[in-house]
Structure 1
């Protein structure tokens, strides 16, 4: 009975969170209620490949999340980006679920600046969904596009679309991996204070609105919080940065299902010669 309940919750969670092909990754983003389309770091691979065009050094990250504190609903991810003479190449993957229900998304991307203010990127992903023991494994391929514009020194505008071609998951009822459009804005109100907002639309789901804040009181510490709707979730967390190393911790809270802790780690490892 417990296994059946866990499977039902896993499927419900995957549906509600667009897990069939995409999940928010990185504790920095998680602490701001999944506002990630305007941020620039290794986990931009999972949120907006266009933002990676502004990456000026090699960077890699790993992330872990336990949705509603259940090991059966855990997700792990990796991401890396390396600048070239022209553009930035990237790779990454995310893995969600447990032995009975598991989704995988892994891909490669390329991003580049179109001007000093605008960057764009594309990404190709391999998708797999395993529902054992009766339904086996389904495979798919999806494409992703993103762009980021620096309107001025303090305002960024970002856009991304996941699964452009609406890759098919199953012929039954024309079931497809989620196609998600995200539009976000960030405003560096003060040198120590960043405000972010985002709108997300997934086909066949309600529109989600998000808002978040990041406060940087001293060089070492970041404090973050956020909220999102449909369904309503609250989030908060903090980050530590020391030279090339970044450690972020976060949790999100749903009034019905409870807490979702997350942690991520980023290292900047390479800067090309100019």
Structure 2
């Protein structure tokens, strides 16, 4: 009982400090950047990132927050390209079992307009559950775009919850309004550099993050990054075997410790 209470205090402290529900492992390992990256992981960051997909992909991920606590995130990802555009869905749950839970489920759509521009929209369902207070629900939307300036250079922007959706009551959790911009630059066929800047409207500071991905061989990638607001370091690696993808990431928070994540995906 005391352990659960302590974990809940830690969880609420973490929400107030950084509200960190990190993107999927590849983006997470690259400093939590993703506004200008492409792939199914865009469902956890900038939804426009799925607009360039040409093959379907499904994935499942799990993250342990601060390692020695019971705070966890689990999620499912699915993106399916069609002639009309790319349709996707993302379901995630963040919290402590039987104490605190934030469920988010969305339906997403992204479309490429010509060879350079992708625009995406996500419609979200939120459910907040606190053991002593019951459930609360809300709906929100996210919008994003990406523009390919050159074959090796992409810029992106997103707004999460532009309609300021909120729960009816909650002293501990909000649905943040986030404005983000970012860029990715392929300096070399083996080296990708990213940078993101994001502002959560109820906070004073702007968060700046940068990351990289180095691919020495076609089936292996090494990743790293840093975040300046609530200084954090990020690292990870990825493997591809035929149609299977395994990504691992770790967030190193200077006060709260390690948050490892694993994602397993399949392309079809």
User: Would you call these one fold, judging by a TM-score over 0.5?
Assistant: yes
* Matching residue of 2:43: 45
The C-alpha deviation readout for 1:222-245, integer Å capped at 9, x for no partner, is 001100022000011111112222
Counterparts of 1:166 and 1:29, CA distance in 2: 26
- 101 and 190 in structure 1: CA distance in 2 versus 1, 3 angstrom threshold: same
TM (norm. structure 2) is 0.94
- Equivalent residue of 2:236, what SS? strand
* Matching residue of 1:260: 259
**TM-superposed deviation, 1:68:** 0.5
**TM-superposed deviation, 1:172:** 6.6
Pick the aligned partner of 1:155 from 122, 131, 153.
153
Runs of 4+ in 1 over 6 A off after TM superposition: none
Which ranges of structure 2 fall in alignment gaps of 5 or more residues?
A: none
* Matching residue of 1:272: none
- Equivalent residue of 2:14, what SS? helix
**TM-superposed deviation, 1:176:** 4.1
The C-alpha deviation readout for 1:161-212, integer Å capped at 9, x for no partner, is 1112111223578x74111111110000000000000001001122110010
Pairing 1:204-243 to 2, within 5 Å after superposition:
204-205=202-203, 206-243=205-242
* Matching residue of 1:166: 164
Counterparts of 1:96 and 1:176, CA distance in 2: 13
TM (norm. structure 1) is 0.92
The C-alpha deviation readout for 1:213-272, integer Å capped at 9, x for no partner, is 110001121001100022000011111112222111111111211111111112111xxx
- Equivalent residue of 2:49, what SS? helix
* Matching residue of 2:133: 135
Counterparts of 1:70 and 1:138, CA distance in 2: 28
* Matching residue of 1:110: 109
Moved more, 69-78 or 164-173: 164-173
Counterparts of 1:209 and 1:7, CA distance in 2: 28
1:91 matched to 2:89: yes
In angstroms, what is the RMSD of aligned CA positions?
1.6
